[in-house]
Structure 1
Amino acid sequence: MSIYQALAFMALAGLAAYVQTLTGFAFGLILMGAVGLTSIMPLQDAAVVTSVLTLVNASIMISKGWSEVLKKPLMLVLLSSLPSLVIGYLLIEHLAANGVVFLRILLGGIIIVSSLQLVMPPRREERQASDRSFVGFGVISGLMSGLFSTSGPPLVYHFYRQPLSLVAIRETLVAIFGVNALVRLGVVMADGTFPDPHYWPALFAAVPVMAGTQLARRLPPPISAKYLRFIVFILLCASGASLALPALPAALELIRS
């Protein structure tokens, strides 16, 4: 990784943290989408770095709000997401070794579908969902976390439908993201697949991540939240399509052969 690539990654990470703080999710989507488009590093290594940065971002955001965390939903989601996280991790390792084009299509599709939440926010229900639903969304979230360290979209959709305090929802989600990132890093360490030292400069992106988080709190953009979410939606859709569409011909060729 050259110094220019490291600086570009740091800038993207800072921007992703800024957007995450303003919109409630999209950190991993923006960062992984940008890596997929620029090929700064392999996607599986980028997912590891994203886990580290997610942990940093979560630590900052949760430092003053732990008392607001919803304990029961937290435990339901974590207990159901951790096994599927391991499955997702094994899947990305398999695809990275045997079908990179399918990996790009999968990431692109996840980015596009997940970005719809920005323009189609979930409606709040009158009654809280069942424990089983939290478990189900936890499984999906864990799978996405294992694949690309992007556990946010399914949980954001589910939690924001609940008749609960918005502060409690936000802090609970941040806690889940942080724990999932920590567990994913543990799985990587146990498997001995931590990124090559060549990519370690990307970890310095923790500094712009902290800066982006604080900047979003103190200096939000002078536009409405609705307009901001629409802009992010367009950018995510464009990056998802740019990842998936060029890989489709090669994927079809592999299937035929």
Structure 2
Amino acid sequence: MTPEQIAAFILVMIVGTYTQTVTGFGMGMIVLGVVAQFDLTTITFASVIISLMMLANGSIALKGRLQVLDKQALKYSIIGLVPALILGVFLLTYLSRDFARILQGILGGAIFLGGVFIMMKPEPLKIRSGNLSFSIAGATAGVLGGLFSIAGPPLVYQYYRQPFSIDNIRLSLLAIFLMMNIGRLIVLAIQGELTLDMLWIGLICVPAVSLATVAGRRFPPPFSDQTMRRLSFLLLVLIGISLMLTA
């Protein structure tokens, strides 16, 4: 990457990190979308940097705030996610490219419509969902993560519909994605897919990502919980559009 491309990449990482810190998701969509649009680097390279940066983002955002989490919901989400993620990766090797794109288009349409409907009426449920529903959301996220590297939408739907505080929701999502990316990086390291260039660019991005995370913690947008829910579902709508266009 040229110095200009690195500077542009860091700027995009700052925007993605701040968004991820205040909503609990969105970094991957923002960074990969800009990278693909302006050809800053390869998608594979960028996705590894995102995983590295999510370690810094999640660790800083969660520091001293673990007591806010609904640990029961978190546990059942992970129980559903881990085996399904392996299944998703397994399915990816057996599905044809055309069939995978059809699935991706259907997925994008479902996320788009669901985001629109809930964005219009973002009030949370009156009663917390049962543990099984968190496992189902985690399992759905795992399969989608294995197939398309986009695990967020089912978990975002699940958590943002709960009668939890926005702090609880975003920190729960950050905790799940932190654990996912630790696992992903371990697998990449075992496979020999981590290169010195990736680690070097990641090291350069750490200060900016750390500052953006601290800014997100200390200076979140001055919006009500309902507005934050609506904005989060708007992000899901954009993810759905992106998936449909890609497919």
Q: TM-score, normalised by structure 1?
A: 0.74
- The CA distance in 1 between the partners of 2:240 and 2:38, in whole Å, is 13
Any conservation in 2 of the 1:37–1:242 contact (CA below 8 Å)? no
- The CA distance in 1 between the partners of 2:6 and 2:216, in whole Å, is 22
Moved more, 185-194 or 160-169: 160-169
- Displacement of 1:170 in angstroms is 3.0
Going from structure 1 to structure 2, the CA distance change for 1:229 and 1:23 (only over 3 Å counts) comes to: farther
- The CA distance in 2 between the partners of 1:72 and 1:28, in whole Å, is 26
Structure 1 residue 40 and structure 2 residue 66: aligned? no
What does residue 16 of structure 1 align with?
16
- The CA distance in 2 between the partners of 1:160 and 1:234, in whole Å, is 12
- The CA distance in 2 between the partners of 1:16 and 1:65, in whole Å, is 21
Any conservation in 2 of the 1:108–1:241 contact (CA below 8 Å)? no
Structure 1 residue 113 and structure 2 residue 111: aligned? yes
CA distances 1:9-31 after superposition (whole Å, capped 9, x unpaired): 11111111112223332112111
Going from structure 1 to structure 2, the CA distance change for 1:183 and 1:199 (only over 3 Å counts) comes to: closer
Unaligned runs of 5+ residues in structure 2 are none
Structure 1 residue 143 and structure 2 residue 147: aligned? no
Moved more, 42-51 or 179-188: 42-51
Moved more, 155-164 or 119-128: 119-128
Identity of aligned residues (%): 30
What does residue 70 of structure 1 align with?
70
Moved more, 127-136 or 108-117: 108-117
Any conservation in 1 of the 2:85–2:145 contact (CA below 8 Å)? yes
- Displacement of 1:39 in angstroms is 3.0
Unaligned runs of 5+ residues in structure 1 are 249-257
Any conservation in 2 of the 1:112–1:241 contact (CA below 8 Å)? no
Moved more, 227-236 or 200-209: 227-236
What does residue 173 of structure 2 align with?
173
Any conservation in 2 of the 1:25–1:153 contact (CA below 8 Å)? no
Moved more, 38-47 or 202-211: 38-47
What does residue 201 of structure 2 align with?
202
Structure 1 residue 182 and structure 2 residue 182: aligned? yes
Going from structure 1 to structure 2, the CA distance change for 1:149 and 1:64 (only over 3 Å counts) comes to: farther
- Displacement of 1:145 in angstroms is 3.7
The total of aligned residue pairs comes to 243
Structure 1 residue 152 and structure 2 residue 136: aligned? no
Any conservation in 2 of the 1:108–1:242 contact (CA below 8 Å)? no
- Displacement of 1:81 in angstroms is 0.7
- The CA distance in 1 between the partners of 2:230 and 2:89, in whole Å, is 29
| SS of residue paired to 1:14 | helix
CA distances 1:154-178 after superposition (whole Å, capped 9, x unpaired): 2121112223344333332221111
Residue 26 of structure 2 aligns with an amino acid whose one-letter code is: A
- Displacement of 1:198 in angstroms is 4.0
Task: Give me the CA root mean square deviation.
Answer: 4.0
Going from structure 1 to structure 2, the CA distance change for 1:242 and 1:184 (only over 3 Å counts) comes to: closer
- Displacement of 1:116 in angstroms is 3.1
